[in-house]
Structure 1
Amino acid sequence: MSRIVVVHGVRNYEREVEPDVAANKLASQWRTRLTYGYADAGLGHLDVPDVKAAYYAHTLHDPEAQSVDGGLESLTPMEEHAVLAWLRAVGLQDEPSEGQSWGGLPLRQAIDLVARRRGIIARLLGRIAVALLPEVYSYLASPARRRRAREIVAETISSCGAKVVVAHSLGSVVAYETLHAHPDLGVEVLVTLGSPLGLPGAVFEMLEPAPDVSQRGHRPAGVSHWVNIADAGDLVALPRRLGDRFPVDVHHETHMAALDFHTLDTYLGSGLTAAALAPHCTD
């Protein structure tokens, strides 16, 4: 049976669990969710492909890394900078009326302001910031952790011969860089879900390879087709239209969930995801 590799995003770390065990647990969970996606797409008559999890979360929780389990007060100055960059993309496009720069605005005040503008509970916005940015920064700020995570993703794809890669959230960043570094993997389709690849100030400028002079990202040489899917309410998938910054072949945007708008389970349970990968999973 065909196999797909799923590259996870943030908040998937399994404490005191061997990486292989954690990967198998996640793969089973994701394949179950994908069955709902196949049904939603009217593809229930097809076999759902085997899922292999590229589990790299443990590489972001080594002794070198800062804790990613605290609140806003636990963020380092660089992580706070990344959070503010994300908040600008979410809703801080304009300078405060009193002329104060966003860089000098207290983080909680910035979160409260964005929450009011977006009609979101500030506590929820703060939880997203603490869940997302520390792990993103843990990956991007350390060449060693970056290298280990990429090696795991490349080995996972290579070991099972998968031609379909599904990458969620931070996983889309890891997969993007991995596929650039390993064009020999020959992926037929890359499906990015809730991707922050184009997030200015926190992700986009730090990518390897770097964007070109026209501020456009590159398609990995070994990827034949690229589909991006974003929930219309996903506060992490920014900018929403990834094709504005990358050579994406197909972009889908739709409403999937009111609360779980960024979870991998929500994306895998969508017919859009199943329809994107199913044509490449026939034996």
Structure 2
Amino acid sequence: MSRMVVVHGVRNYQRGLSAAAAADKLAAAWSRQLVAGYRDARLEHLAVPEISAAYYAHTLHDSEAQGTAHGLEDLSAVEQSAVLDWLGALGMPEEPAEGQSWGGLPLRQAIDLVARKRGVAAQTLARIAVAFMPEVYRYLASPHRRRQAREAVARAIAEAGGKVVVAHSLGSVVAYEALHAFDGLGVESFITLGSPLGLSGAVFDMLDPAPADGFGSRPPGLRHWINIADAGDLVALPRRLGDRFPVDVHEEVHMASADFHTLDMYLACGLTAAALAPHCVAHEPAGGPHTESAP
């Protein structure tokens, strides 16, 4: 049976578990969702690929990490600036009303403004900001944690021997950089779900390798890159990742009104299963030769 590697997004820290136990726990949960996705796509006649989890959340919760943010007021100045980048992608006007400046505008007021424009609850945007931005900042702002997270993902890919990598949310950023940083992992298909890779300022402009002329590069050796975005996903911005990266296929669909952006939602969607199925073919099992450049 074929095996794929899944890279998680934010809010997946498994307190009290070793990295290996956390990966096993996540993989078991994701496998159940993927079975539902194959059923939704009417692909029950196909073997559902086995999942190995690339767990890196522990690297963002080390001794360097700050306390967990519980509200907008707990976000640092840099994190608040990243939230403003995100709000800009959601449609916040580039210039405030006459006599105002975004720098002096309370973050909650900016969120209220965008919430009214998008027709969503301000509390929803605030929850996303608090859940998403601190972990993104911890990853991108610390060379030490960034290196550890990328190594954890590369190691999981090498140990599983997976040729298909599915990466969600912040995980798409970590996986993208890991595939660039470590040669010889043998990944052929990269499927990004709810990816913020193209988010100006907060993510795109801080990528390694740095974008050139406003365009990100393709990881070496990659044959297929498929991007899937829920039309209501407020983190997958800009949704058409192909405008900034050499994506081969972009798929977009309305998946859920309440459970948007979760990895469970994406894996249980038939669109994801249909995108995966052609690339999940038998290959050399884990334990075979691995690249010496992987950590």
TM-score (norm 1): 0.97
Q: State the one-letter code of the partner of 1:126.
A: A
Give the fraction of aligned pairs with identical amino acids, expressed as a percent.
Answer: 69
| Partners of 1:234 and 1:261 within 8 A in 2 | yes
Q: State the one-letter code of the partner of 1:85.
A: D
The equivalent of 2:25 in structure 1 is 25
The equivalent of 2:68 in structure 1 is 68
The equivalent of 1:162 in structure 2 is 162
The equivalent of 1:257 in structure 2 is 256
Alpha-carbon deviation of 1:104?
2.4
Q: CA–CA distance in 2 between the matches of 1:200 and 1:93?
A: 15
The equivalent of 1:220 in structure 2 is 219
Q: CA–CA distance in 1 between the matches of 2:279 and 2:117?
A: 42
Q: State the one-letter code of the partner of 2:147.
A: R
Q: State the one-letter code of the partner of 1:269.
A: A
Query: Does the residue aligned with 2:184 lie in a helix, a strand or coil?
Result: helix
The equivalent of 1:203 in structure 2 is 203
RMSD: 1.0
Q: Deviations over 1:17-69 (max 9, x none)?
A: 21111110100000100011111112111111110000100110111012234
Moved more, 128-137 or 91-100: 91-100
Alpha-carbon deviation of 1:182?
1.5
The equivalent of 2:146 in structure 1 is 146
Contiguous gaps of at least 5 residues in structure 2: 283-295
Q: State the one-letter code of the partner of 1:155.
A: R
The equivalent of 2:105 in structure 1 is 105
Q: State the one-letter code of the partner of 1:245.
A: R
Q: CA–CA distance in 2 between the matches of 1:31 and 1:69?
A: 30
Q: State the one-letter code of the partner of 1:65.
A: A
| Partners of 2:69 and 2:75 within 8 A in 1 | no
The equivalent of 2:54 in structure 1 is 54
Moved more, 54-63 or 101-110: 101-110
| Partners of 1:68 and 1:135 within 8 A in 2 | no
Contiguous gaps of at least 5 residues in structure 1: none
May I ask how many residue pairs the two structures share in their alignment?
A: 282
Matches within 5 A, 1:67-146: 67-146=67-146
The equivalent of 1:39 in structure 2 is 39
Alpha-carbon deviation of 1:93?
3.1
Moved more, 102-111 or 51-60: 102-111
Q: Could you list the runs of 4 or more consecutive aligned residues of structure 1 that deviate by over 6 angstroms after TM superposition?
A: none
**Residues 1:93 and 1:222: Cα distance change in structure 2 (over 3 Å):** farther
Q: CA–CA distance in 2 between the matches of 1:35 and 1:175?
A: 23
Q: CA–CA distance in 2 between the matches of 1:99 and 1:244?
A: 35
| Partners of 1:84 and 1:103 within 8 A in 2 | no
Q: CA–CA distance in 2 between the matches of 1:274 and 1:4?
A: 12
Q: State the one-letter code of the partner of 2:261.
A: H
Q: CA–CA distance in 2 between the matches of 1:67 and 1:224?
A: 40
Moved more, 92-101 or 201-210: 92-101
TM-score (norm 2): 0.94
Alpha-carbon deviation of 1:222?
2.2
Q: State the one-letter code of the partner of 2:175.
A: A
Query: Does the residue aligned with 1:184 lie in a helix, a strand or coil?
Result: coil
Q: Deviations over 1:134-188 (max 9, x none)?
A: 0000000000000000111001000111000000000000000000011311211
The equivalent of 2:272 in structure 1 is 273
Q: CA–CA distance in 2 between the matches of 1:258 and 1:224?
A: 33
Q: State the one-letter code of the partner of 2:163.
A: K
Matches within 5 A, 1:223-238: 223-238=222-237
The equivalent of 1:184 in structure 2 is 184
Query: Does the residue aligned with 2:250 lie in a helix, a strand or coil?
Result: strand
Alpha-carbon deviation of 1:99?
4.4
Q: CA–CA distance in 2 between the matches of 1:67 and 1:274?
A: 37
